[in-house]
């Protein structure tokens, strides 16, 4: 079974030989391989320089996929770029699923720079809120189209809409200013024949049904630091929306290994039965995380896979 086959079957809640695994980002390339991604602020270039930078990214991606046995790859550098997706599709063929990023498409925490103005507009100028949401949604649909044209198998929609204590606005407001636009994005992804992944950190329980109603194929993070229990979420979403994540990132940062083991084992024991679960951290493999902790997490994963084979 190829990684892509495992990935697709899991999202359809069909049995596989093991749960698939990949991470939305891996930024320990220097520690793992002695290589560096091109500076994230250096992509305003074209021609040979741009091709060389994409090739440098692909060299790192190929090493990540080979060493850590990823079943999919989200092309995060260059960010949201069809050329990066094309290059990855050419490099990996049908061995793994390839995805592209479309962010900044919804009202969410990182898109609000002036909270006082946002609160005032929510109270007195809802038309402004909706006008901005409409602009972002239309732009995002165009970016979805470009990534789909490049061959993306899935589109990753990262929008942090919640803090540890809950969503950035009330569930009633969320239903008005977020949910309809998320539904349109997901519908566009599906129209283009791709799979829609929605990402948000934080506690989403108050709006989980709303997210589910939008029809994404998968929800990523399932943030345990915010109280998201994958056993509960799996019960509420099984057969409708797959889950990805939940291995606790602060434990991967600080340890100890036994705590990493407990978190990883809990995710696998509650997430993987019946399909619909992709094993990963609750966020990303971010700079500063000890590489040995990610690799230990994978040791636990392989142990689980052997025991349940």
Query: Which pLDDT tens digit goes with each residue over 96-137?
Result: 999 999 999 999 999 999 999 999 999 999 999 999 999 999
Confidence of residue 247 (pLDDT cuts 50, 70, 90): very high
Query: Which pLDDT tens digit goes with each residue over 255-269?
Result: 999 999 999 999 999
Number of neighbouring beta carbons within 10 Å of residue 283: 22
Residue 51: is its pLDDT beyond 90? yes
Give all domains of the chain, ordered by start, each with its CATH number.
3-308 (3.20.20.210)
Confidence of residue 309 (pLDDT cuts 50, 70, 90): confident
Distance set, CA 156 to CA 16, 232, 264, 273 (Å) = 23, 23, 23, 24
* 163 and 226 Cβ atoms separated by less than 8 Å: yes
* Token output for 216: 């994404």
* List of E strands, the chain: 72-74, 97-101, 154-158, 162-163, 166-167, 195-199, 218-221, 242-245, 277-278
Name the packing angle between helices 257-271 and 291-308 (round to 10°). Answer: 40
* 134 and 108 Cβ atoms separated by less than 8 Å: no
Query: pTM for this structure?
Result: 0.97
Dihedrals phi, psi of 278, to nearest 5 degrees: -110, 125
Half-sphere exposure of 117 (CA within 13 A, CB side): 6
Residue owning tokens 């709303």: 210
Q: How far apart are CA 144 and CA 164, in angstroms?
A: 29
Q: Is 299 helix (H, G, I), strand (E, B) or coil?
A: helix
Q: How far apart are CA 118 and CA 128, in angstroms?
A: 10
């Amino acid at each position: 079974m190829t990684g892509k086959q495992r990935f697709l079957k899991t999202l359809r809640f069909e049995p596989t030989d093991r749960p698939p695994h990949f991470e939305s980002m891996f930024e320990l390339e220097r520690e793992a391989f002695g290589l560096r991604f091109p500076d994230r602020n250096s992509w305003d270039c074209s021609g040979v320089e741009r091709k060389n930078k994409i090739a440098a990214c692909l060299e790192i991606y190929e090493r990540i996929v080979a060493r850590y046995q990823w079943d999919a790859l989200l092309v995060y550098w260059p960010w949201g770029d069809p050329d990066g997706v094309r290059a990855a599709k050419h490099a990996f063929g049908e061995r793994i699923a390839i995805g592209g990023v479309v962010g900044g498409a919804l009202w969410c925490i990182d898109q609000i720079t002036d909270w006082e103005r946002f609160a005032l507009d929510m109270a007195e100028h809802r038309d402004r809120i909706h006008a901005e949401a409409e602009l972002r949604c239309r732009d995002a649909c165009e970016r979805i189209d470009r990534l789909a044209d490049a061959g993306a198998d899935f589109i990753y929609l990262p929008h942090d809409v919640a803090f540890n204590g809950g969503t950035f606005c009330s569930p009633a407001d969320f239903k008005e200013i977020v949910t309809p636009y998320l539904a349109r994005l997901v519908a566009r992804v599906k129209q283009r024949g791709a799979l829609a992944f929605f990402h948000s950190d934080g506690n989403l329980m108050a709006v989980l049904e709303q997210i589910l109603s939008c029809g994404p194929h998968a929800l990523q993070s399932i943030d345990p630091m915010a109280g998201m229990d994958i056993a509960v979420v799996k019960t509420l979403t099984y057969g409708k929306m797959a889950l990805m994540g939940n291995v606790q990132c602060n434990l991967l940062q600080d340890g100890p290994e036994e705590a990493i083991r407990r978190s990883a084992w809990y995710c696998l024991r509650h997430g993987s039965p019946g399909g619909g679960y992709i094993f990963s951290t609750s966020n990303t493999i971010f700079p500063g995380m000890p590489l040995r902790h990610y690799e230990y997490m994978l040791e636990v994963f392989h142990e689980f896979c052997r025991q349940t084979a």
